[in-house]
Structure formats: C-alpha cells, structure tokens
A and B are shown apart, each in its own frame.
Chain A
Amino acid sequence: MKFTIDRAALLRPLGHVQSVVERRNTIPILANVLLKAGNGRLSLTATDMDMDIVESVDCNVNGDGTLTVPAHTLYDIIRKLPDGSEVSLEATGEAGRVSVTAGRSSFTLPALPADEFPAMSGEDLPHRFSMAAADTKSMIDRTRFAISNEETRYYLNGIYLHATEANDVAVMRAVATDGHRLARVEMPLPDGAAGMPAVIIPRKAINEIHKLIENTEGEVSIALSDSKLCFAFGDTVLTTKLIDGTFPDYERVIPSGNDKTLMVNCKIFANAVDRVATISTEKSRSVKLQMNEGILVLSASSPESGTAREELEVSYSAEPIEIGFNSRYLLDIANQIEGEGIIFSLADAASPTIVRDQDDDSSLYVLMPMRV
C-alpha cells in the first residue's frame, strides 16, 4: 500500500478521527487509526469501542491496501510538518512497519494488521432525518453545559434527544441536567424524525459532533436506532453507541406556577454577576439576588475574601424576594442567551427558578437555588 497526499488535506480528517482515540489504551490496536487506500481515496477510521469516526479524503493512491498505525503519533508528525508538504505513506517490505516521508523527513512507525481493527457492528438504523448544521450546533451549545459528570447516574452523562409535542406542534427536544440545572431546547421536528426512539447521546460523541460542525454550514444527516446513532456530515461519518438508561421524567421538575417575574438585560446582568462572583467562595460560588420594585441587588460575601455588591435597574414588580444561585450556573445560561433580555420566573428562595431568553421561546433553563 502506498499513497501521497497534501499535508493539509491529511491533517484535517486525521485531526477529527484522532480525538476519538483514548490517550491510554489497554488494547494496543485501539490506539491506532485504520487507513484504507483505494480508488483515489483515503479513508481514516478511529474508535474507542463506544464510538467511531470514519472520514475520507482524495489522495494519490499508488497501491491499494489497508493498515493501522498509532493515531496520535501520526497526527503529531503530520501536524509538525511544514505547511505545503507532500506526505507519502508506504507499507515497507518489513512486516509491521510503515514509512512516512515528507521532503527530507522520514519516519518509520509500527503497524498492526488491519483485520484486527474492531469494526462497529453495522446494524440497521431505521430512523433517518436531516438537520441544518447550525441548528445542530445551537442545540448542543444550549444544552451540553448542563450534562452531568456524575458516574453513578450515568444516564445523565449525555443529551436526551426525543420527539414530542409542544403546544400541539411536533418538536424535537434536547434536554440535559446534572440535578442542579436543566437545559431544554426544542426545534420543529425534522421530516422523518417522527416515531424516533428517545435516546441519550453520550457527552464524548456530543463534543466530537460539535467539533466536526464548528465553522461549517450545510445539512447533517442523522440515522438512529434505540442503541446507536450515526451522524454524517460531508465526508465524515460518526457512529456512537447510546447510553442505555432511562432519562428522568424532567417535565415533572419544571415548575409551572412561578409567579414572580424578573426581566434584566443579559449582558449587563452577566457582567455584574461575573464581577460580584469574584468574592464568592471557591467552593460554593454563590451570589445572592435581592429583588425589590425595579431594583436587583447582586451580592456575595466570604469570610476570606470580603464582600461585593452591585445594583441593577431591572423590571420587577412582585413582592421582594431574596434568592441565591451558583454564579457559574447563571453565567453558563447567560452565555447561551442571544436575545437582549433574560426573563427569570421565580417562586421562592427554595424552589426551582425558570430562566428564558426574552426573544426566543425555543430554550428553557431551570436552576436550583442555593442557600445563601
């Protein structure tokens, strides 16, 4: 097997697939990328057994074949080569050796036989639909910050994607929660998604998908079953196992009777929270919000670092209330709000608060208060 390819053309797909490869592997071949050359194309595959990415690119094939080489090593080599280099990769006569050459640089890498490379079982994925890359990215942006890291509740370690109805309109919903905050984003249900099973997409796959569609436009196509999801975009196909668990019945924790409404300019609010939180203790990061007719007072205090206070003019006319929140959670949400204003719907200092974008009904956030 032999092929030559422009450095930049190889670096991009290699960059995508190598990030799937775990840094530490007990099975040697999982550290490798599978390279398949033929018909003027090179296809690259990497897997961690829970997900794989296959990406293909044009190249000059001087001999068909497949082999595997250490993914991170190859990536590092290609990355460090000067821009504009022509890279050629060839299976040497010696078994288990691959040579990589570019200009005056040459490397020999250990190769493992391609037939040992684990393939994800290609089962049938009956539900197929497509979405705009921009919508996909926005859905991920507005939910992934709330994904839980808790190992015990593994079913929270991803985004819950499902089809449902909101106000008699069929929608696709993405939900994530870590128990302290919850993010819910919806969009009109794409054609072909009706009847899809509700699935939990693991965080790692979410992050890889996000990387793939960053700075791009166009459509992505999605195919899924109740145990697997396949995401295709351009020359890249990402297939991931889904989290086998039951996502909590999140609708029950979204309060409906919160009668106190606070409206505040998003930028001004976020900047003030950030300033006041300088004083919050590292551990709790709490800030206190005191609302009174037209005024919001943000404050923080800690025995070690002192006190902070900032007053904002807001729209608030319900009875005065005092409530504490984790400042980082407030900022995470504020960062995702594109409209000018944030609307808080509050009940009392111990009950969940709803946060929305003034100009956009498609996302909703629920935030648990903290004791301050």
Chain B
Amino acid sequence: MTAAAAERSPTLLCRDCLGWFPKRSLESCLSCGSPRLIQHDELSGLTIAHIDCDAFYASVEKRDDPSLAEKPVIVGGGQRGVVSAACYIARIDGVHSAMPMFKALEACPNAVVIRPDMRKYTAVGHEVRTLMREATPLVQPISIDEAFLDLTGTERLHKAPPAETLARLVARIQEEIGITASIGLSYNKFLAKVASDIDKPRGFSVIGRAEAMTFLAPRPTTVIWGVGKSLHRKLLNDGLRTVADLQAIDEVELVRRYGTMGTRLARFSKGVDDRQVELTSKAKSVSNETTFKTDLTSAEQLIPALWRLCESVSASLKHKHISGQVVTLKLKTADFRSLTRRTNLAAPTQLADTLFRTALALLERELDGRRYRLLGVAVSELGEERDADPLDLADPDAGRRKKAEQAIDQVREKLGRSAIKKGRGFGTVIRPQSSRRPHHPRR
C-alpha cells in the first residue's frame, strides 16, 4: 500500500457495529456509542491473525451451567492433577493453567472444580473451527481452542478488510457458540500470536510493521517462540535479558553462539517470521499420560495403567487412520525427574497390544524401586494406516492378535468403550515374552 493510500484507508474500527472511521481520536463509536474501538494505522492492511479462545474449558462449562457465571471455575483433574483451565475470576486469585491443583485450591479455596470433559470441548472446538473456515479457508489449528488464520485475499469475498471479518467472526463465536475469543492481528504468525495474548479476554490487538521492533524491544526474550526455560537461562547468563538485547546483535554472531536457534532469535527479535499459515499442522506424535493419585512403584500397579494408556493412544491412532513406528515411554519420578525411553518398531503399528508389549519392555527396565507420579505413552514417526501392522515373519500369532483387537474395537463401537475390557486393565498381569528379558547389566 502506498503512503497516500494508507492515508486514505480507514484506520478505526468499531468492534460492535463494525463501522469504520477515518483516523481520529475517539472515546466511543460515533454511530453506536461503543467504547470498543480499534485504532491502528495499518489496520486495513494486516492479514495474519491468531485467534485464541478465552479460558476455553472453563468458558464452555460456564456456558453450560449459567449458575457458574459469577463463580471462580477451575477445570482440571483430582487432588494430584493440574489445572487445565481457570476462568478469569479464578485467575484474579492467581490460579493459572498447569498449576498443581492443590496449589490452585490453596489460592482460591471457594473455586468450583470441574473434571475436564474432553469430548465436549473437542466438539465445541470443532464448531469454532467451522466458523473460522467461513472467514478464510486458510486456517491452521494449533490446538483445540486456537488457530492461525491467513485472511490474505478475503477482502473481495467478504467485502471487508480482514480486521472487520475477524471482529465479525469473534462476535459470531460469542453469539452462536457462547464463548469468547481474543484476536491478534499482524503481518506474520509470530507477531499475531504475541498480539492475541496482550489484551485477553475478548481482546483485539494489532501489531503493525511500523512498531514491531519497538513493541518487542522491552519484552523478555521468552516472548520469542522457541525460547524455553533452558535457552532463557542461557541467554540471561550471556547478559541478554530483553528482545532489545537480541536486536542489537548481528545474526551471524547469534548463529555462532546458539546454532540454528540463533537465526530464529535474530529474525523474530526484529519481527521477521516467514512461516506460512499451513492448512494442516500435522501432528508429529500421538500420546497420552496420567498423573497418579499417589506415587506408584510396582509392576502390578503400573502395568494396568500402562495398558489403559496404550489403549487410548491406539484408539486415537485408529480414529485418525494413522500408525506410528516409534514408541516412547515417559515417566516422572516422585521428585519430579522426567525420563523418557524409546523403541523403534520393526514396522508401524496401530494396535494397543503392540504398543503395550513395546512400552512394557521399556517400563520393566525402570522398575527398580523408584516411585513414579506420572506415566505416559507416545507414538511418533507417524504414517499411513495401510502401512500399519503388516504380517510379521517373526510373530506368527500377530495376525490372530490383530484380528482379536479389531473384534474388540467393533464391539466397542456398537456397545461403548466399557462393553469389553482386557484383564490387563484390571491388574491381572500376564507378561508377553518380549518383556521378560533376563537382565544382563553391562559390565
């Protein structure tokens, strides 16, 4: 857009009546009186958005039970679980997601705790996604309740700039689905995501090209996607506290110090991100994990839990019509040490039985009296369903077990998940040969 065109294009949008106004400082909308105005010089030229539902699980629960509206609501698992979502009332007391439940309840004793109902949230998430896709076909879901949208070229279709289409979209989400969402609008994914986080809930924040550098400068380096705990510590050690500190360093130097991550630090710190909004952000792995009510240590306790996890991961693989070739076992000890162990399978699988046999062999090596608070199973190196579980010359019974599992799946499809269960799930432990390796420690 030329400077002259920018001068002419409207820069002020009312989020309620969707009216546009030329640049002017206004307290409230001239036509409807709403104070919810967005003003930005680049407002009609920005096309990449990040939409994030506000306290998603908690919002869905409040929608379904109006009596919760004014109460602090926490969605999450039992005594040992963590907070999956906290409504904004609970957040006032300092509750946040991923916080251990007991701490959350200390901070907010009168909170209403609700067990997560993933099936319901998934359904609502899909409704939200459907509305998003009406705004643009280029929707890249990041999780159940957030997505990137590329609205480039949708002006003609909607006869409105992306900002207006987005404002209309969140209004529809609120009206038709009954939950609220926040928008970040910018010229790339990184900044759109940063923006959506600025003004939650029901936010609409804009970061334009003109101010991207100065906007990012004072922020901590953790604002950059990919800067986690350990890199953050490393950066602090090197005297790099804010994005401004990164902006001051040459890309070559950052690459020398931090490898490939250096490129990202250099570019993102200057507001440059070339990643496209992609239609499918393909999952790299399928996993499930469980935190126990009390720490577990014995095979008899852990194996039934392992079987249930394998069944659930297998069910996801089957549901998505995919298979995986690498099985990873995850454990967290009572003193919060995480460990993962992985095995490469001879062929991709989809079967709970195969996952279980493989994961069990990994688990048994770690059963040495240590106490575990968490157990998880993940499958990666995902591939197509038709490559899964081919005939195995070394396992003449594999075909029979595969048929048995398919029969169980069919019964469950008709009669429900609990219609038929394996003894393994209850604690009857019959171990396959593969896991009974006589232990020869390396000497």
In the complex, chain B residues whose CB is within 8 Å of the CB of A371: 386-387
> Is there a chain A Cβ closer than 8 Å to B390's Cβ?
yes
Central interface residue in A180, A350, A352, by most chain B CB within 10 Å: A180
Return chain B residues, CB-CB under 8 Å to A49: 440, 443
Q: Please tell me if the beta carbons of A26 and B346 are within 8 angstroms of each other in the complex.
A: no
Q: Closest A-chain residue to B441, C-beta based?
A: A26
For chain B, what secondary structure do more than half of its interface residues adopt (helix, strand, loop), or is it mixed?
loop
Whether B443 and A352, one on each chain, are in contact in the complex, defined by CB atoms closer than 8 angstroms, is: no
* Residue A181, interface by CB 8 Å: yes
Segment at the interface with A among B70-78, B93-101, B431-439: B431-439
Given the interface pairs A30-B443, A148-B346, A371-B386, the reply to whether A179 lies near B434 with Cβ below 8 Å is no
- Check A156/B391 contact, CB under 8 A, given A26-B443, A371-B386: no
A253→B434 CA distance, assembly (Å): 19
Q: Flag whether A45 is at the interface (Cβ < 8 A).
A: no
Tell whether A26 pairs with B442 under 8 Å between CB atoms, given A179-B395, A180-B393, A182-B393.
yes
Counting chain A residues whose Cβ lies within 8 A of the other chain, the interface size class is: 20 to 34
Q: Which of A229-283 contact B (CB under 8 A)?
A: 244-246, 248-250, 252-253
Partner of A153 from the list B391, B394, B396, B442 (CB cut-off 8 Å) is B394
Q: Which residue of A lies closest to B359 (CB)?
A: A152
B300 at the interface (CB under 8 A from A): no
B361 to chain A, nearest CB (A): 5
Chain B positions 22-65 with a Cβ under 8 Å from a chain A Cβ: none
Contact A352 B343 (CB under 8 A): no
Determine whether A150 belongs to the interface, using a CB cutoff of 8 Å to chain B: yes
**From A146, which residue of chain B is reached at the shortest CB distance?**
B393
Chain A: minimal CB distance from B354 (Å): 10
Residue A169 CB within 8 A of the other chain: no
Instruction: Say whether B182 faces chain A, with CB atoms less than 8 Å apart.
Output: no
Contact with B437, one of A154, A180, A351 (Cβ below 8 angstroms): A154
How far is it, in angstroms, between the C-alpha of A30 and the C-alpha of B442 when the chains are bound?
11
Within 8 A of B (CB), among A126-178: 148, 150-156, 177-178
Which A204-236 residues have a C-beta within 8 angstroms of B?
Answer: none
B394 x A178 contact (CB < 8 A): yes
Distance to closest chain B CB from A203 (angstroms): 15
Question: For the complex, what is the distance from the CA of A249 to the CA of B392, rounded to whole Å?
Answer: 12
Contact of A253 among B386, B396, B437, B442 (CB under 8 A): B396
A11 sits at the interface (CB 8 A) = no
Are A352 and B396 closer than 8 Å at their CB atoms? no
Q: A244-B438, A371-B387 are in contact. Are A179 and B392 (CB under 8 A)?
A: yes
For chain B, which range describes its interface: under 10, 10 to 19, 20 to 34, or 35 or more residues? 20 to 34
A249 to B399 Cα, complex, angstroms: 14
Alpha-carbon gap, A102 to B358, bound state (A): 54
Within 8 Å by CB of B346, from A178, A244, A249, A253, lies A178
Query: Which B residues touch A150, using CB under 8 A?
Result: 346
Known: A248-B394, A366-B393, A371-B386. A180 touches B443 (CB 8 A): no
**How far is the CB of B298 from the nearest CB of chain A, in Å?**
22
Cα(A305)–Cα(B442), bound, Å: 43
- What is the minimal beta-carbon distance from A146 to any residue of chain B, in angstroms? 9
A155 (CB) vs chain B CBs: closest residue: B433
B347 contacts A by Cβ under 8 Å = yes
Interface residues of A in 1-41 (CB under 8 A from B): 25-27, 30
Contact: B393 with A151, CB < 8 Å? no
When C-beta atoms are compared, the residue in chain A nearest to B362 turns out to be A152
Chain A residue with the shortest CB-CB distance to B384: A371
| CB-based contact B394/A179 at 8 Å | yes
- Once the chains bind, are B443 and A249 in contact (CB under 8 Å)? no
Complex CA–CA separation, A148 to B396 (angstroms): 16
Give bound CA distance, A93 to B443, whole Å. Answer: 31
**Is A198 among interface residues, defined by CB-CB distance under 8 A?**
no
Is A50 close to B, CB under 8 A?
yes
Distance in Å: Cβ of A306 to nearest Cβ of chain B: 23
B343 touching A249, Cβ below 8 Å: no
A352:B438 contact, CB within 8 angstroms = no
The 8 Å CB contact of B396, one of A26, A27, A180, A248, is A248
A366 vs B442: C-alpha distance in the bound complex, in angstroms?
34
Beta-carbon nearest neighbor of A22 in chain B: B442
Decide: B361 and A152 in contact? CB cutoff 8 A: yes
Q: Which of B346, B358, B387, B438 has the most CB of A within 10 A?
A: B346
Question: CA A27 – CA B433 in complex, angstroms?
Answer: 30
Task: Identify the interface centre among B386, B392, B394, B442: most chain A CB within 10 Å of its CB.
Answer: B394
Knowing A151-B343, A152-B361, A371-B387 touch, does A253 contact B443 (C-beta < 8 A)?
no
Cα distance, A155 to B391, chains bound together (Å):
18
* A30 neighbours in B (Cβ, 8 Å): 443
Given A151-B343, A155-B433, the answer on whether A177 and B443 have CB atoms closer than 8 Å is no
Q: Does A368 contact B (CB under 8 A)?
A: yes
Residue of A nearest to B395 (CB): A248
Instruction: Using A30-B443, A152-B361 as known contacts, say yes or no to A252 and B396 having CB atoms under 8 A apart.
Output: yes
In the assembly, what is the distance between CA of A37 and CA of B436, in Å? Answer: 43
Q: Give the distance in Å from the alpha carbon of A351 to the alpha carbon of B391 in the complex.
A: 8
Residues of A near any B CB (own CB < 8 A): 25-27, 30, 49-50, 148, 150-156, 177-182, 244-246, 248-250, 252-253, 350-352, 366, 368, 371
8 contacts between A and B (CB under 8 A): A26-B442, A152-B358, A152-B361, A179-B392, A250-B393, A250-B394, A350-B391, A368-B393
B contact residues vs A (CB 8 Å cutoff): 343, 346-347, 357-358, 361, 386-387, 390-396, 433-434, 437-438, 440, 442-443
Given A27-B443, A154-B437, A368-B391; 15 other pairs, CB 8 A cutoff = A150-B346, A152-B358, A153-B394, A178-B394, A179-B395, A180-B346, A182-B393, A244-B438, A246-B433, A248-B394, A249-B396, A250-B393, A351-B391, A368-B390, A371-B387
